[in-house]
Chain A
Amino acid sequence: MVRFLRRVLNTAIVVLFVSLLMFLLVRVLPGDPVAAAMGEGVTKEQADKFRAEMGLDKPLYLQYATYLDQLAHGEFGRSLIESRDVGEIVSERLPATLELVICALLFAVVVGVPLGILSATHRNGLLDQVSRLCSLTGVSFPGFWAALMLQLLLGAALALLPITGRITGPPPEHITGLYLVDSLLTGNMSAFGDAFRHLVAPTIVLALGPLAQVTGMIRSSMLDELSKPYVSFSHAVGMPGFLINYKYALRNAFSATLTLIGFLFPLMIGSAFVVEKVFAWPGIARFGADAILANDYNAIVGVTLVVCLFVVVVNFVTDELYVMLDPRIRLQR
Chain B
Amino acid sequence: MAAVLAVGLVSSLSVALPAYAEPGRPVLRAGMNLEVSTLDPVRATNLFENTIALNVYDPLVFPDPDKGVIPWIAKSWEASDDRKTYTFHLRDDVLFHDGRKLEAEDVAFSMKRALTVPGLVGGYLRSIDKDRIEVVDPTTIRFHLKSVDPSFVRAMVLLKIMNGKQLMANKAEGSYGEFGDYGAKFLQNQDAGSGPYMIADFRAGDHMILKAFDGYTLRKWAPNAPGEVRLKIIPETVTLETKFFAGEFDFDFNSPAPPRVKVFEQNPKIAMDKWQTLNNYYVVMNTTLPPLDDVNVRKAISYAYDANTVMNRIHAGGVRLDGPVPKALLGSCEGIPRYDYNMEKAKEYLAKSKYKPAELAKFKLEFAAVAGAEAFQKVGLMLSLSLKKLGLNVEVKPVRWTDIVAAQTKPETAYPFVYFYDSARVRHPSTLLKFYTKAGWGAPYPSGGIYWQDAAVTGMIDKAAALEDGSPQQMALYCEASKKIAAEAPAIFSHNDLRLQPRWKYLTAGTRDGGSSQYEYRFDMFRFDTAQPDYIANQAK
Contact = CB atoms under 8 A, between A and B. Distances in A.
Do the two chains touch directly in the complex (Cβ atoms below 8 Å apart)? yes
Interface of A: 35-36, 38-42, 53, 81-84, 89, 92-93, 148, 151, 155-156, 159, 163-166, 168-170, 277-278, 280, 282, 286-287, 290, 293-295
B120 A40 contact: yes
B242 A163 contact: yes
A159 B246 CA distance: 8
A280 B239 contact: yes
A21 B37 CA distance: 28
Contact of B232 (A163, A165, A278): A165
A82 B236 contact: no
Closest 7 CB pairs of A and B: A282-B206, A41-B444, A41-B409, A39-B402, A40-B444, A82-B204, A164-B239
B20 A170 contact: yes
Given A89-B204, A294-B400, A163 B239 contact: yes
11 contacts: A36-B402, A39-B406, A40-B409, A82-B37, A151-B242, A156-B242, A164-B239, A165-B206, A280-B233, A286-B205, A294-B402
A82 B242 contact: no
A85 to B, nearest CB: 10
Nearest to A277: B235
Q: Is the interface of B mostly helix, strand, loop or mixed?
A: loop
B18 interface: yes
A278 B20 CA distance: 27
A164 B38 CA distance: 23
B239 A42 contact: no
Nearest to A169: B20
Contact of B205 (A82, A159, A169, A170): A82
A168 B248 CA distance: 10
B445 A280 contact: no
A164 B243 contact: yes
Q: Is the interface of A mostly helix, strand, loop or mixed?
A: loop
Given A41-B409, A41-B442, A164-B234, 5 more contacts: A41-B444, A53-B175, A155-B239, A164-B239, A287-B205
Interface in B238-268: 238-239, 242-243, 246
Contacts of B35: 81-82, 290
Contacts of B175: 53
Interface string B248-290: 0000000000000000000000000000000000000000000
A166 B246 CA distance: 17
Nearest to A40: B444
Contacts of A42: 406, 409
B183 to A, nearest CB: 13
Given A39-B406, A40-B445, A170-B20, A280 B400 contact: no
B342 interface: no
Contacts of A169: 20
A69 to B, nearest CB: 19
Contacts of B406: 35, 38-42
Contact of B37 (A81, A156, A168, A277): A81
A281 to B, nearest CB: 10
A92 B18 CA distance: 17
B205 A282 contact: yes
Contacts of B402: 36, 39-40, 294
B118 interface: yes
B188 interface: yes
Interface in B5-50: 18, 20, 35, 37-38
B247 to A, nearest CB: 11
B461 interface: no
Interface in B389-444: 400, 402-403, 405-406, 409, 442-444
Contacts of B204: 82, 84, 89
A146 to B, nearest CB: 15
A40 B206 contact: no
B203 interface: yes
Nearest to A286: B205
A38 B175 CA distance: 14
Nearest to A93: B205
Nearest to B242: A156
A41 B445 CA distance: 9
B119 interface: yes
Given A83-B37, A83-B38, A151 B205 contact: no
Contacts of A287: 205
Contacts of A280: 233-236, 239
Contacts of B403: 35-36, 295
Interface in B34-85: 35, 37-38
A280 B234 CA distance: 6
A286 B406 CA distance: 25
A54 to B, nearest CB: 12
A278 B236 contact: yes
A261 B406 CA distance: 44
Contacts of A89: 204
B239 A151 contact: yes
Contacts of A40: 118-120, 402, 405-406, 409, 444-445
Contacts of B20: 169-170
A294 B409 CA distance: 19
A9 to B, nearest CB: 37
